[in-house]
């Protein structure tokens, strides 16, 4: 969600006191991990948590340090949250601060990927609109390989337009300054597996995750900026459910803390395995958590419980028909 959140500081401060998982190291960022990183030869994913503001230079500094910290600890792919580039004070500022894919922000991330020899998932880049008729941005999930090349861009298709009354008011209308995407991107082959791309609110639509799984995804990723109200109620249960339903790893980078006077995020970035177990997680601070991605275990789970073979589309329909990784989306 790249919009203004109105919420009570009292409610959020209570969330930050949660001691979510044990701390492994504390400098330069807190590194929270419950995975057995380094004990096997499996690839390593790093999920990041940060507090973006409207200061793009400082946000970029934090991103570089998170990437460097993850790379030093052996990560093969680093996942940054939605709005890693900035969280603006208002709609006009959000549009004004946006950039194209060839702007300074993505150029800096390309350089970081290349210099560390690491893949990056940049979830929720404010991409400037391409036409002169509609000034709205796109909320874009950008994948950069270890050569510093953009290999995929997914534009968020489900926009967060809600008005909640829970412990204060959460009112957002993402469509006011964001254009919805028009396609589900094919999963990207990476050093840690085939990664299916989503962003934040996409998490709430199980059909999208199922389509990505049927297209060959082994890892679903939902970089987010969940509000404190919705995060406390739904964040963990949604992530673990998507992992179990689709027998996939789920990697969810997160925004955390107070961004400005009107906006705060829940945090609790995590990696969930295909059995629904949280294998790495962050608490209420800026930091990074790492976990090995055991694709042998993923395949074992799918073999032991062959959900795809047991589905009954003859009774309740399908969201897609897939063959050899190519899917035709159906309208039910």
Q: What is the pLDDT of residues 239-262, one digit of tens each?
A: 999 999 999 999 999 999 999 988
Residue 165 has what pLDDT? 74
Task: Give the number of residues written for the chain.
Answer: 332
Short-list 118, 116, 123, CA closest to 153: 123
Catalytic site residue from 63, 110, 156, 248: 156
Distance (Å, rounded) from C-alpha 256 to C-alpha 66? 14
Catalytic site residue from 48, 63, 82, 174: 82
The pairing of strands 44-50 and 254-260 is parallel
Distance (Å, rounded) from C-alpha 321 to C-alpha 327? 5
Short-list 107, 109, 101, CA closest to 84: 109
Residue 6 has what pLDDT? 32
Token readout for 5 is: 């959140």
Residue 13 has what pLDDT? 35
Greatest CA separation found in the chain?
55
Q: Is 200 a catalytic residue?
A: yes
Residue 155 has what pLDDT? 97
Residue 26 has what pLDDT? 33
The helix (run of H) or strand (run of E) holding residue 292 is strand 287-292
Residue 106 has what pLDDT? 98
Residue 139 has what pLDDT? 96
pTM of the shown model = 0.87
22, with CB counted inside 10 A (0-12, 13-18, 19+), is: exposed
Catalytic site residue from 48, 99, 110, 200: 200
Residue 9 has what pLDDT? 34
Residues of the chain where predicted confidence (pLDDT) is lower than 50: 1-28, 34, 332
Residue 167 has what pLDDT? 64
Token readout for 289 is: 């958590």
Distances in Å between the alpha carbon of 224 and those of 48, 115, 146, 287, 315?
A: 11, 26, 23, 15, 34
Residue 36 has what pLDDT? 53
Short-list 91, 120, 93, CA closest to 105: 120
């Amino acid at each position: 969600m790249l919009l203004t959140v109105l919420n009570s500081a009292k409610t959020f401060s209570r969330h930050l006191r949660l001691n979510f998982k044990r701390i492994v190291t504390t400098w330069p960022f807190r590194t929270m991990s419950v995975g057995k990183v380094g004990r096997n030869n499996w690839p390593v994913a790093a999920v990041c948590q940060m507090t973006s503001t409207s200061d793009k230079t400082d946000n970029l500094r934090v991103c570089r340090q998170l990437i460097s910290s993850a790379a030093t600890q052996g990560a093969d792919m680093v996942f940054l949250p939605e709005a890693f580039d900035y969280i603006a004070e208002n709609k006009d500022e959000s549009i004004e601060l946006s950039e194209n894919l060839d702007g300074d922000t993505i150029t800096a991330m390309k350089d970081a990927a290349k210099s560390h020899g690491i893949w990056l998932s940049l979830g929720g880049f404010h991409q400037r609109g391409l036409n002169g008729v509609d000034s709205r941005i796109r909320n874009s999930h950008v994948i950069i390989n270890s050569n510093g090349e953009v290999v995929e861009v997914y534009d968020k298709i489900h926009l967060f337009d809600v008005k909640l009354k829970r412990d204060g008011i959460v009112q957002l209308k993402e469509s006011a300054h964001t254009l919805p995407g028009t396609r589900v991107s094919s999963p990207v082959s990476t050093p840690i597996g085939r990664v299916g791309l989503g962003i934040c609110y996409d998490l709430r639509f199980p059909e999208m995750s199922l389509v990505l799984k049927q297209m060959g995804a082994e890892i679903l990723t939902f970089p987010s900026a969940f509000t404190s109200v919705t995060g406390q109620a739904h964040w963990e249960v949604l992530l673990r459910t998507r992992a179990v339903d689709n027998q996939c790893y789920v990697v969810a980078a997160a925004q955390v803390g107070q961004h400005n006077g009107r906006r705060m995020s829940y945090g609790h970035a995590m990696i969930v395995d295909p059995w629904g177990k949280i294998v790495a997680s962050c608490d209420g601070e800026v930091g990074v958590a790492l976990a090995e991605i055991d694709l042998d275990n993923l395949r074992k789970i799918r073999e032991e419980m062959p959900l795809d073979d047991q589905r009954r589309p003859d009774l309740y329909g399908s969201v897609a028909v897939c063959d050899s990784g190519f899917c035709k989306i159906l309208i039910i």
